[in-house]
Amino acid sequence: MIETAHATGTARVKRGMAEMLKGGVIMDVVTPEQAKIAEDAGAVAVMALERVPADIRAQGGVARMSDPDMIDGIIEAVSIPVMAKARIGHFVEAQVLQSLGVDYIDESEVLTPADEKLHIDKWEFTVPFVCGATNLGEALRRIAEGAAMIRSKGEAGTGNVVEATRHMRSMVSGIRSVQSMGEEELFNAAKELGAPYELVREVHELGKLPVVMFTAGGIATPADAAMMMQLGAEGVFVGSGIFKSGDPVKRANAIVQATTHYDNPDVIAKVSRGLGEAMVGINLDELSPEQRYAGRGW
Amino acid sequence: MTLVGVLGLQGDVREHVAAMAALGVATAVVRTPTDLAAVDALIIPGGESTTMSLIATREGLFPPLRTAVAEGMPMYGSCAGMIMLAREVLDGRPDQQTLGALDIAVRRNAFGRQVDSFEADLAMPCLGEEPLRAVFIRAPWVEQMGPQVEVLGRVTGGPAEGRIVAVSSGRVLATSFHPELTGDLRVHALFRDMID
């Protein structure tokens, strides 16, 4: 690779940004006031969106990128990084978000997909992207398209961690399996995963994804966050879990502490006390296949 | 044998551990005052400086960290770590605490937002002739500094030409950029040599 004197938007700069978020909690916020609460609690970044996933579920309709005024308001309100969501495949929403100066774009299955076949060509952008994935093959396809960070999808807006667990376990066991393969098996693995050989090879060598991997989708308690970290997540996205709970300030602080001390049950026990009402939560068997967001994206 | 701690509250802890390990230096992750008491030197990694300050405050780490500074513990900070080591932070949070290990005032997110983050070749004469590939991510720069602080590197070219991005004073070292992300071990080796 020829290195120029001054280069923005390189893979290293995009992936490096995610490295700086590791060990942290990224919180969904819908107003500048919520963004302040998140920042005060120690969030490493906020995700600006119009409705949290629980409300998107409840209210239905097409879910789109947020109003630029609202994103500007949140960028003004906090000094930590601001992320925002674009619909899967909606490259113009992504162009708009880049022009607004957001620090990361989430090409998200929580919004209604805009393209049933193609994701955004993320290499075209200076701003980095995070994408959801349910398994290793999906994660590597997103990375091949230019994603600089991966989050396991889980099932957003449910307050139910079971899908996040499934996707983290699937990702980690996929990585372990590729890592332990012989060189000659990697070609077939690439075919079976539906992912480029070069990336499969990289996973084989690194024993991890070539980008940072967070978890998302259903995390509602400090123990949920800590469990995902113990399962191998490098950080946590919390969507509806904080601002749909009885005491958002306390819960936000508790989830940050549980993420820092994810391997220390004494701390998790301490911060889990007296948090008030958790978000109500949905059992997954109450959702029909079309109500599941994790199936969006391919 | 020297044990180098890496402050593990948040950020790219693993990359600093890996860089020191590649130099054959033993490391330990520091999250509590007890952890801190066991190490001979400290690296403060990249991350979100306001979050790091909040968590360190909550963990009661600032008093023992300040004691370590006063006792002359060698320290190196990259990006958010540079902010933590500074005397003063501009554009930080009002309640943001720093250690004052270096007599510098740094401006947070000085180069702009993530779309302005960049990598560039950087001349650091103390590391030899070959320039260093430096990765700047929502990085700070040094805006004011005391007379005893030595400038080790400035941005060459681009919109931020001439800005101070690497400094040292005594056994404390700070860079605006992230040598831990590039595999170039020269900055970490410089720090190792400062410890001995």
Looking at the DSSP bridge assignments, the partners of residue B166 are B153, B175
The beta-strand segments (E) located in B93-157 are 104-107, 118-122, 132-136, 141-145, 150-154
Interface of B with A (CB under 8 A): 8-15, 31, 46-48, 50-51, 54-55, 58-59, 79-80, 91-93, 108-109, 113-121, 133, 135-138, 156-158, 178, 181-182
* Pick from B58, B115, B117: CB nearest A98: B115
B48 with A16: Cβ contact below 8 A: no
φ/ψ of residue A76, rounded to 5: -65, -35
Q: Which residues of A touch B158 (CB under 8 A)?
A: 5-6
- Most distant CA pair in chain B: distance in Å? 44
Tell me the shortest Cα–Cα distance from A291 to chain B, in angstroms: 34
pLDDT surpasses 50 at A1: no
| CA-wise closest residue to B65 among B27, B101, B108 | B101
Q: What is the pLDDT of residue A289?
A: 80
Q: What is the pLDDT of residue B196?
A: 80
Strand, helix or coil at A98?
A: helix
For residue range A88-142, what is the model confidence (pLDDT) as tens digits?
A: 999 999 999 999 999 999 999 999 999 999 999 999 999 999 999 999 999 999 9
The beta-strand segments (E) located in chain A are 6-8, 25-29, 45-48, 82-87, 104-108, 129-133, 149-152, 212-214, 236-238
The model's confidence at residue A179, banded by pLDDT at 50, 70 and 90, is very high
Residue to mutate among B51, B111, B181, with most A CBs inside 10 A, is: B51
Q: Tell me the C-alpha distance between B5 and A9, whole Å.
A: 32
Centre a 10 Å sphere on the Cβ of residue B47 and count the other Cβ atoms it contains. Answer: 29
The answer to whether B166 and B176 have CB atoms below 8 angstroms apart is yes
Report all structural domains of chain B as residue ranges with CATH numbers, in order of start.
Answer: 3-195 (3.40.50.880)
Q: Which residues of B touch A12 (CB under 8 A)?
A: 119, 135, 181-182
B51 with A80: Cβ contact below 8 A: yes
B51 with A81: Cβ contact below 8 A: no
Q: Which residues of A touch B157 (CB under 8 A)?
A: 5-6
Mean pLDDT per 10-residue interval, chain B, length 196 residues: 95 98 97 96 98 95 98 98 98 94 97 95 94 96 97 90 96 98 97 94
Q: Tell me the C-alpha distance between A27 and A236, whole Å.
A: 9
For residue range A38-89, what is the model confidence (pLDDT) as tens digits?
A: 999 999 999 999 888 888 888 888 999 999 999 999 999 999 999 999 999 9
Q: What is the pLDDT of residue B188?
A: 98
pLDDT surpasses 80 at A281: no
Tokens in use for A157?
A: 């807006």
A127 with B133: Cβ contact below 8 A: no
Q: Which residues of B touch A267 (CB under 8 A)?
A: none
| Gyration radius from chain B CA atoms | 15
Tell me the shortest Cα–Cα distance from A155 to chain B, in angstroms: 26
pLDDT surpasses 90 at A287: no
Burial of residue A22, with CB atoms counted within 10 A of its CB: 0-12 exposed, 13-18 middle, 19 or more buried: buried
* Pick from B51, B109, B114: CB nearest A44: B51
Q: Which residues of A touch B15 (CB under 8 A)?
A: 19
CA distances for B155 relative to B35, B75, B162, B167, B192, angstroms: 36, 23, 5, 12, 24
Tokens in use for A135?
A: 């398994």
Q: Tell me the C-alpha distance between B165 and A48, whole Å.
A: 31
Q: What is the pLDDT of residue B24?
A: 97
- Catalytically active residues of A, by annotation: 85
Q: Which residues of B touch A24 (CB under 8 A)?
A: 10-11, 47-48, 51
All residues at 6 or more sequence positions from A69 whose CB lies less than 8 Å from its CB, including other chains: none
DSSP A140-208: HHHHHTT-SEEEE---TTS--THHHHHHHHHHHHHHHHHHTS-GGGHHHHHHHHTS-HHHHHHHHHHSS
Residue to mutate among A2, A13, A95, with most B CBs inside 10 A, is: A13
| CA-wise closest residue to A141 among A173, A107, A164 | A107
Q: What is the pLDDT of residue A4?
A: 52
φ/ψ of residue B105, rounded to 5: -110, 125
Q: Which residues of A touch B121 (CB under 8 A)?
A: 3, 5
Q: Tell me the C-alpha distance between A50 and A261, whole Å.
A: 31
Q: What is the pLDDT of residue A2?
A: 44
- Cβ contacts below 8 Å, chain A against chain B, sum to 127
* Pick from A3, A10, A80: CB nearest B50: A80
Tell me the shortest Cα–Cα distance from B170 to chain A, in angstroms: 27
* Pick from B51, B114, B156: CB nearest A17: B114
Q: What is the pLDDT of residue A284?
A: 75
Q: What is the pLDDT of residue A296?
A: 87
Q: What is the pLDDT of residue B92?
A: 92
A5 with B120: Cβ contact below 8 A: yes
Q: Report the range of poorest mean pLDDT among A45-54, A205-214, A256-265.
A: A45-54
Q: Tell me the C-alpha distance between B52 and B46, whole Å.
A: 10
Residue to mutate among A20, A37, A75, with most B CBs inside 10 A, is: A20
Centre a 10 Å sphere on the Cβ of residue A130 and count the other Cβ atoms it contains. Answer: 29
- Most distant CA pair in chain A: distance in Å? 56
Tokens in use for A27?
A: 């919180």
Angle at A285 between CA A282 and CA A288, to 5 degrees: 95
